[in-house]
Structure 1
């Protein structure tokens, strides 16, 4: 096996590892804020959702506020 083949294999493994980490790696979520007995989270919609993971406490009402910053038909 030549140097070029080894380089291609190493690059493929590196790209595969990055893709695995990107899609399946740990995600940090945003904790909901407690305001007046209601958990509240603001989610920005702009080419996706940010944050895309939220953490809430079971048994406490939850209010989701969506800040839509795009004009696409799918988000109206």
Structure 2
């Protein structure tokens, strides 16, 4: 949220959100996903099929089946 302090240690490869655990728990309890607002087009495709950052921000339908690797 606006105003939260974030400590970034690039050399140590560490990111810390300086918000108390009880506040984070309250935020998780209050969180609701945003409604899907587009019925068609690229924005709808993006909303439905682009993965989150930890998964690469790619289209889910472009993932290879388990055990397969992309050719070089």
In the superposition, the TM-score normalised over structure 2's length comes to 0.29
Rg comparison, structure with higher value: 1
Higher relative contact order (Cα pairs below 8 Å, separated by 6+ residues): 1
